[in-house]
């Protein structure tokens, strides 16, 4: 499943329709989980613009797309050291997380009984918090309207990470975080 930089979910039972509709933007395939597709696109911003335009004109996309998340980095995870792997993978995002309030949100697919999402979110956020403090930044968490959200989307033994800023979430309302 490697080589994905987009994760999308469909409304219930619409995965195959969504898969067909997204293929005009890149290479998409089912992710092995209900209502989940992953894909590879050359230009994430062009994808976001294209999906926003298609939502306004395509009669089928609004009734099939639940959310779409551009992914900046993927890593393999092992349940025994997932927090350390994810915290290390998040290091390139520290500069963006230092610029205001943030929180970590993980949506787990697979590894049931091996990973607990809220616990893993805290275990990833703690070293980020300490790293920001060591840079002289006073970190702030805001779950209501954070400046940035470190999003981690897992698909089995892989995790996709990205930082979603407030402006991006506003400009592309289909880029959702639970």
- Tell me yes or no: is domain 73-170 CATH 3.30.2130.30: yes
Q: Confidence class of residue 2 from pLDDT cuts 50, 70 and 90?
A: low
Structure tokens at 83: 């927090």
Is residue 26 classed as helix, strand or coil in its secondary structure? coil
Q: How many of the other CB atoms lie within 10 Å of CB of 77?
A: 24
Domain boundaries, given as residue ranges, for the chain: 6-70, 73-170
Output the pTM of the full model: 0.92
Nearest CA among 99, 102, 100, 89 for reference residue 153: 89
Structure tokens at 16: 């195959």
143: left (phi over 0), alpha (psi -120 to 50) or beta: alpha
Order of strands, edge to edge, in the sheet holding 158-165?
Answer: 73-76, 158-165, 148-155, 101-107, 140-141
Q: Are 110 and 33 in contact (CB under 8 A)?
A: yes
Summarize pLDDT for 84-94 with one digit per residue, the tens: 999 999 999 99
Summarize pLDDT for 29-51 with one digit per residue, the tens: 999 999 999 999 999 999 999 99
> Can you name the residues that pair with 164 across neighbouring β-strands?
149
Summarize pLDDT for 94-152 with one digit per residue, the tens: 999 997 999 999 998 987 777 778 888 999 999 999 999 999 999 999 999 999 999 99
CA distance 10 to 36: 6
Q: Which residue has the tokens 């205001």?
A: 100
Q: Which residue has the tokens 């980095």?
A: 73
Q: Is the pLDDT of residue 61 over 90?
A: yes
CA distance 58 to 21: 9
Q: Confidence class of residue 1 from pLDDT cuts 50, 70 and 90?
A: very low
Percentage of the chain exceeding pLDDT 90:
84
Structure tokens at 56: 């306004």
Percentage of the chain exceeding pLDDT 70:
99
CA distance 66 to 68: 7
- Quick one: pLDDT at residue 103? 95
């Amino acid at each position: 499943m490697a080589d994905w930089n987009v994760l999308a979910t469909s409304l219930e039972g619409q995965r195959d329709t969504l898969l067909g509709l997204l293929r005009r933007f890149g290479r998409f395939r089912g992710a092995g989980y209900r209502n989940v597709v992953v894909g590879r696109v050359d230009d994430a911003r062009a994808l976001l613009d294209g999906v926003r335009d298609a939502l306004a004109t395509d009669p089928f996309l609004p009734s099939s797309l639940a959310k779409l998340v551009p992914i900046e980095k993927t890593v393999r995870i092992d349940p025994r050291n997932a927090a350390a792997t994810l915290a290390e993978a998040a290091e390139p995002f520290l500069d963006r997380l230092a610029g205001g309030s943030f929180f970590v949100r993980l949506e787990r697919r697979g590894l049931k009984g091996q990973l607990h999402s809220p616990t893993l979110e805290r275990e990833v956020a703690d070293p980020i918090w300490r790293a920001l403090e060591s840079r002289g930044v006073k970190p702030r968490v805001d779950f209501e309207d954070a400046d940035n959200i470190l999003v981690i989307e897992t698909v089995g033994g892989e995790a996709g990470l990205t930082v979603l800023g407030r402006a991006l979430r506003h400009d592309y309302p289909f880029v959702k975080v639970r």
